[in-house]
């Protein structure tokens, strides 16, 4: 069985994708205690080391390194300050890459990183991984909905193969969309007949002006909007009244706001392909939403991993 090390592991979305693709995750790391609790409840065999990445000086050998270093500086939901220190965590990923020398690596991040004003950060990452001895494929922005996820989720992937292997990585083609398999919708995975209000499982504070500055609604017959890590910005459940535009960055409910609610954390998990994943009740609702919104949907990571050439996965 090929082996993988996972950094910036979160609750294990990417790792579920690795496991589904046939990898054994031999080590994982994250700084957030609740992420470790969720991970341990679902993938107990992995050696999950809790703490800051900078504290880790020794790594076991592995065929593949996966890591979705944080991205607050680029994220639409974050402060969008590209100078924040958190944006240099890719250097820690580069350090691990040099120490482990896996046959391949995969990193995932928000697409804002490819915007022209952030482009120098993306270039620094590509240079860092290139000088570590990897052939880095030109980064690709993919939409989870085109790979069978019931959610519009655009993310950038950076994949590199160790140069001495002399092979190149090709991103997988979409599997869902026009003339492909039908796009998976919210109706396909959330129950249209379930009109319950799962109190305690969803963020029920008022819809403030910032929430209503964007369209947060998608109907049953479409994938959901992006599931974010911040509970306040969680998309609307499709049983809510739609939003109509009433001005620049201003939306209002086409019906009563009392009939609207955000997705519960369990529904958000389903839309992130984490249905059935256990989220222990040891943390707040906000923490549950956070690890779910931070996750890489397993189906998407699996597709990217499966496209890694066999020379890598032949352990
Ligand atoms: C985008 S999330 C990764 C999600 C994960 N790949 C998944 O699929 O569930 C980034 C993670 O980096 C973690 N993190 C942030 N700073 C860190 C640090 N200095 N050391 C280790 N982990 C860190 C955060 O707690 C967060 O879980």
pLDDT of residue 112: 85
CA of 53 to the centre of ligand 1 (A): 9
pLDDT of residue 118: 81
Q: What would you report as the CA-atom Rg of the chain, rounded to the nearest whole angstrom?
A: 20
In a domain, 15, yes or no: yes
**Mutation pick for ligand 1 pocket among 70, 90, 227, 299 (CB with most ligand atoms within 8 Å):** 70
pLDDT in tens, 42-94: 999 999 999 999 999 999 999 999 999 986 655 555 555 555 566 679 999 99
In a domain, 108, yes or no: yes
From CA 28, how far away is CA 10, in angstroms rounded?
9
Which residue's CA is minimally distant from atom 10 of ligand 1? 70
| Alpha helix ranges (H) inside the chain | 13-20, 33-42, 90-100, 119-131, 186-189, 265-271, 285-294, 298-306, 310-313
In a domain, 138, yes or no: yes
In a domain, 273, yes or no: no
From CA 256, how far away is CA 265, in angstroms rounded?
23
In a domain, 194, yes or no: no
Domain assignment of residue 308, given as a range:
3-174+297-313
- Which residues approach ligand 1 with their CB closer than 6 A? 8-14, 29-32, 35, 52-53, 68, 70, 89, 294-296
pLDDT of residue 41: 98
In a domain, 66, yes or no: yes
Residue 89 backbone class (left: φ over 0; alpha: ψ -120 to 50; beta: rest): alpha
From CA 227, how far away is CA 113, in angstroms rounded?
18
CA of 218 to the centre of ligand 1 (A): 28
Look-up: residue for tokens 């080391």?
49
Q: 157: domain CATH number?
A: 3.40.50.150
Overall number of domains in the chain: 1
In a domain, 18, yes or no: yes
pLDDT along the chain (315 residues), means of 10: 97 98 98 98 98 96 95 55 67 97 96 83 93 96 98 97 96 97 96 78 95 97 97 96 97 95 96 97 98 98 96 77
pLDDT of residue 3: 97
Report the first-to-last Cα separation within the chain, whole angstroms. 6
Catalytic residue flag (residue 71): yes
Identify the CA nearest to 232 among candidates 287, 193, 292, 286.
286
Rounded to an integer, what is the distance from CA 24 to the centroid of its chain? 20
pLDDT of residue 59: 98
pLDDT of residue 74: 56
pLDDT of residue 88: 79
**Does residue 78 contact residue 71 with C-beta atoms inside 8 Å?**
yes
In a domain, 269, yes or no: no
CA of 121 to the centre of ligand 1 (A): 18
């Amino acid at each position: 069985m090929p082996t993988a090390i996972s950094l910036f592991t979160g609750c294990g979305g990417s790792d579920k994708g690795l496991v589904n693709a046939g990898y054994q995750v031999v080590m994982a790391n994250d700084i957030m205690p609740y992420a470790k609790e969720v991970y341990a409840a679902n993938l107990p065999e992995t050696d999950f080391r809790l703490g800051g990445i900078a504290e880790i000086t020794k790594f076991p050998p592995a065929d593949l390194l996966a890591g979705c270093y944080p991205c607050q500086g680029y994220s639409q939901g974050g402060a969008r300050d590209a100078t924040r220190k958190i944006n240099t965590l890719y250097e820690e990923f580069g350090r691990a890459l040099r120490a482990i020398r896996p046959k391949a690596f995969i990193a995932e991040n928000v697409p804002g990183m490819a915007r022209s004003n952030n482009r120098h950060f993306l270039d620094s990452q590509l240079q860092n991984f290139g000088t570590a001895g990897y052939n880095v494929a030109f980064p690709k922005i993919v939409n989870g909905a085109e790979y069978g996820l019931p959610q519009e989720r655009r993310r950038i992937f950076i994949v590199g193969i160790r140069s001495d292997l002399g092979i190149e990585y090709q991103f997988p083609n979409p599997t869902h969309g026009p003339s492909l398999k039908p796009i998976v919708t919210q109706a396909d995975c959330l129950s249209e007949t379930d009109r319950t209000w799962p109190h305690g499982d969803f963020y029920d504070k008022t819809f403030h002006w910032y929430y209503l500055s964007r369209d947060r609604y998608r109907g049953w017959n479409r994938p959901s909007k992006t599931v974010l890590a911040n509970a306040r910005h969680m998309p609307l459940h499709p049983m809510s009244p739609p939003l109509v535009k009433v001005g620049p960055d201003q939306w209002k409910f086409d019906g009563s706001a009392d009939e609207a609610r955000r997705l519960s954390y369990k529904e958000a998990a389903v839309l992130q392909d984490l249905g059935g994943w256990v989220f222990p009740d040891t943390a707040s609702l906000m923490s549950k939403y956070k690890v779910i919104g931070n996750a890489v949907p397993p189906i998407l990571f699996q597709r990217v991993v499966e496209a890694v050439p066999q020379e890598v996965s032949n352990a």
